[in-house]
């Protein structure tokens, strides 16, 4: 959270335009200790997410500069539920599809489910218009980042895993309905 001097420069979480590039800032590690995912699967992992304040601060400063230069179309911090939940929220918010690959993630995630549900701290999922790619990547050169996909017109969330094989292929309508179902009595 921060003070925003110009409300017209606020960046929301929803994907905006098909063709935009999807980036993940930060590193994904096998840090699922205490996560919702592990409580559901009853797996155990003693590695709780570690906070590296110096590294995270560099990431937040770089992102802030990119936002100030109006290079970022959308942004969402990755928290509970990891990358999987952030991707779903981004797709639902913009009612646009996402085509994602986990193959080149920064960090040391060892399994597809760990890569999707890790709660490693300091990560941010953003979209950037293609024409801003070069300038954006120059601003990010001091921090770990990776282009992991694109926003699509096709209303699906697809994810290729660490080995390149498709592991997720979900219809956006079904994702949206499942999300809204949790709020039906409110």
The rounded percent of the chain whose pLDDT value lies above 70 is: 97
Contact present, 160 and 101 (Cβ < 8 Å): yes
CATH number belonging to domain 12-181: 3.90.650.10
> How confident is the model over 33-92, as pLDDT tens digits?
878 788 777 766 678 888 999 999 999 999 999 999 999 999 999 999 999 999 999 999
Closest listed residue to residue 23, CA positions, set 95, 69, 92, 83: 83
pLDDT band at 23 (very low <50, low <70, confident <90, very high): very high
Q: Helix (H, G, I), strand (E, B), or coil: what is residue 102?
A: coil
Query: 123 burial class (0-12, 13-18, 19+ CB within 10 angstroms)?
Result: buried
Nearest one of 131, 126, 102 to 19, comparing CA atoms: 131
Domain coordinates of the chain in residue numbers?
A: 12-181
CB atoms within 10 A of CB 106: 18
């Amino acid at each position: 959270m921060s003070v925003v001097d110009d409300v017209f420069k606020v960046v929301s979480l929803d994907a905006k335009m098909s063709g935009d590039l999807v980036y993940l800032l930060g590193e994904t590690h096998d840090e699922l200790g205490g996560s919702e995912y592990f409580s559901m699967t009853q797996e155990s992992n003693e590695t709780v997410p570690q906070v590296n304040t110096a590294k995270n601060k560099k990431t937040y400063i770089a992102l802030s500069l990119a936002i100030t230069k109006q290079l970022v179309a959308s942004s969402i911090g990755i928290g509970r539920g990891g990358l999987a939940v952030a991707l779903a929220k981004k797709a639902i918010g913009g009612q646009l599809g996402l085509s994602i690959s986990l193959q080149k993630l920064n960090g040391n995630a060892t399994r597809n489910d760990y890569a999707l549900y890790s709660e490693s701290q300091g990560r941010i999922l953003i979209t950037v218009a293609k024409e801003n790619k070069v300038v954006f990547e120059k601003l990010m050169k001091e921090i770990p980042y990776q282009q992991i996909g694109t926003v699509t017109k096709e209303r699906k969330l697809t994810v290729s895993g660490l080995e390149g094989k498709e592991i997720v292929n979900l219809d956006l309508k079904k994702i949206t309905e499942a999300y809204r179902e949790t709020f039906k009595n409110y």
